[in-house]
């Protein structure tokens, strides 16, 4: 490593005093606002009253607020953030060297906390508002387990009861995730379960099912609305989640600004959109206001390609169809990624905010196959030291590909990507990869069409 290259430290940390004091609401800068959620009964935009049995009051306000540009982060949340934030922006000197690229690669690393991902940023906010409202507890679903862990931690902090429905195949494959949640006092139920009517119904219809996120959501919502003092919380997709996650982008931008660095390309993995939406928020704001331009790339798994092969339409958010309808890029609420798909990013739809921005051309999307993703993950681990989550490794894959293009052209582009988390609980997938047992699956057009044909007819 040459001296002159090290003007920018390996890790850029903000001071605690420089941490964001308000979340940034990108909707305020969108000319076309994201389409509203619809009441599935009436087909009309949901009202606060519609959502009140499901969500916490203040979170509903945030969900519906398309206008306030900055929303203050309550001091109690900022106190919690200080446990694991600010998170560093890391200059990937070692990866650059290994690739031999003239590109400058940075990543915002959100994995240095026990949930192992960025999910904690929204979990603590949602737990805070639940506590403030005087609730007893919250219910939620979790797939890969990062969100459930994050929520367990947040609930332990505020002394809230936490009830997690964990997708059954994940519950069985990831017993350690379950134990982390239990360490934080959460109760964890494999979904579908017999604890809910919708769970029983699904089990009756599909006795051998290993569950899906959409199904776990239905159960968690039912549990919340049928229990006094409980509400449902969700770790992605919703506007409020992207709002909370803007702390990622705000910190990243502040850190880069300190050193006069402006990214040319910003890359994030995209499942429901929480990380991507949070990372790009302030950059997207500048783009929307016409102040700056950035190339923004969403990366999704080829096995669950909502942006690249889905339809922009109103769809159910959950399998049980108890949630409001959202307009989003979707594969259909019945879509379940192939069993060989590792890691998260398996939700059938995409944040309404990001869907609208993508539809308007403010960002690109690409999909990658998982063996290529794990190749990138291993290369990254060996050069940068951090063992990345499979989800995050989708972004790594595209960051590496872009850096290799720079190697060909000689361009010194600056790339920023989101390293959302660590892969410590994903070693089963890594093992498959090491043993050459990992395969790729790309749904056929016919399969996707069959799922899309079942979209609700109201559009």
Q: What is the 3-state secondary structure (H, E, C) of 119-149?
A: CHHHHHHHHHHHHHCCCCEEEEEECCCHHHH
Of 175 and 290, nearer to its own copies (C-beta) is 175
Q: 166 pairs with which residues across the strands?
A: 142, 190
What 3-state class would DSSP assign to 311?
strand
Question: What minimum distance in Å lies between the beta carbon of 388 and its own copies?
Answer: 9
- The side-by-side arrangement of strands in the sheet containing 161-167 is 187-191, 161-167, 137-142, 230-232
Of 82 and 292, nearer to its own copies (C-beta) is 82
Of 75 and 445, nearer to its own copies (C-beta) is 75
Question: What minimum distance in Å lies between the beta carbon of 223 and its own copies?
Answer: 22
Question: What minimum distance in Å lies between the beta carbon of 93 and its own copies?
Answer: 8
Q: Which residue's entry shows tokens 């997708």?
A: 167
Question: What minimum distance in Å lies between the beta carbon of 257 and its own copies?
Answer: 18
Q: 71 pairs with which residues across the strands?
A: 23
Contact footprint for its own copies (CB under 8 A): 1, 9-11, 13, 15-16, 79, 82-84, 94, 112-114, 116, 153, 156-157, 175-176, 179-180, 182-185, 378, 381-387, 422, 424-425, 427-428, 430-431, 434
Of 331 and 400, nearer to its own copies (C-beta) is 400
For residues 371 and 438, the answer to whether their CB atoms sit within 8 Å is yes
CA distances from 22 to 73, 203, 246 (A): 5, 44, 9
Question: What minimum distance in Å lies between the beta carbon of 101 and its own copies?
Answer: 18
Question: What minimum distance in Å lies between the beta carbon of 261 and its own copies?
Answer: 17
Characterize the bridge pairing of strands 11-12 and 89-91: antiparallel
User: By C-alpha distance, which of 128, 104, 151 is closest to 8?
Assistant: 104
Q: Which residue's entry shows tokens 């979707």?
A: 330
Q: 406: which residues sit within 8 A by CB, 6+ positions away?
A: 101, 102, 103, 412, 413
Of 325 and 386, nearer to its own copies (C-beta) is 386
Of 93 and 316, nearer to its own copies (C-beta) is 93
Of 52 and 428, nearer to its own copies (C-beta) is 428
Question: What minimum distance in Å lies between the beta carbon of 425 and its own copies?
Answer: 7
Backbone φ and ψ for 327, nearest 5 degrees, come out as -85, 125
List the Cα angle 79/84/88 in 5-degree steps.
125
């Amino acid at each position: 490593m040459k001296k002159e290259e090290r003007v920018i430290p390996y890790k850029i940390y903000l001071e605690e005093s420089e941490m964001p004091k308000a979340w940034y609401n990108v909707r305020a800068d969108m000319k076309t606002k994201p389409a509203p959620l619809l009441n599935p009964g009436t087909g009309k935009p949901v009202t606060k009253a519609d959502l009140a049995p499901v969500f916490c009051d203040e979170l509903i306000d945030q969900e519906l607020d398309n206008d306030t540009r900055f929303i203050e982060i309550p001091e109690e949340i900022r106190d919690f953030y200080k446990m694991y934030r600010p998170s560093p922006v890391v200059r990937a000197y070692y990866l650059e060297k290994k690739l031999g690229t003239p590109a400058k690669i940075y990543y915002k690393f959100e994995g240095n906390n026990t949930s192992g991902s960025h999910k904690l940023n929204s979990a603590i906010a949602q737990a805070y508002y639940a506590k403030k409202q005087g609730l007893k507890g919250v219910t939620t679903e979790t797939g890969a387990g990062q969100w459930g862990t994050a929520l367990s931690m947040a609930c332990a902090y505020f002394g809230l009861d936490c009830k997690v429905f964990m997708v059954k195949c994940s519950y069985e494959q990831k017993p350690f995730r379950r134990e982390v949640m239990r360490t934080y006092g959460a109760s964890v139920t494999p979904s579908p379960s017999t604890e809910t009517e919708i769970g029983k119904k699904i089990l009756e219809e599909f006795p051998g099912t290993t569950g899906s996120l959409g199904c776990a959501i239905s159960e968690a919502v039912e549990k919340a609305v049928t229990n006094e003092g409980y509400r449902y919380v969700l770790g992605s997709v919703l506007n409020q989640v992207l709002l909370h996650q803007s702390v990622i982008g705000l910190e990243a931008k502040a850190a880069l600004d300190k050193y006069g660095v402006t990214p040319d390309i910003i890359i994030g993995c995209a499942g429901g959109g929480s990380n991507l939406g949070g990372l790009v928020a302030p950059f997207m704001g500048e783009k929307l206001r016409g102040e700056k331009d950035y190339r923004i790339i969403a990366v999704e798994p080829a096995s669950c390609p909502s942006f690249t092969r889905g339809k922009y339409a109103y769809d159910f958010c959950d399998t049980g169809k108890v949630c409001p309808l959202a307009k989003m890029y979707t594969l259909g609420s019945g879509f379940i990624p192939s069993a060989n798909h590792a890691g998260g990013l398996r939700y059938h739809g995409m944040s309404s905010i990001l869907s609208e921005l993508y539809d308007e051309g403010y960002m690109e999307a690409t999909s990658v196959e998982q063996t290529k993703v794990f190749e990138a993950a291993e290369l990254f681990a060996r050069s940068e030291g951090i063992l990345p989550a499979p989800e995050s490794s989708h972004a790594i894959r595209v960051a590496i590909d872009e850096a290799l293009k720079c190697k060909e052209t000689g361009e010194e582009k600056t790339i920023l990507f989101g390293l959302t988390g660590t892969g410590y609980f994903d070693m089963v997938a890594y093992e498959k990869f090491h043993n050459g047992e990992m395969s790729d699956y790309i749904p056929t057009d016919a399969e996707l069409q069959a799922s899309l044909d079942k979209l609700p007819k109201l559009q």
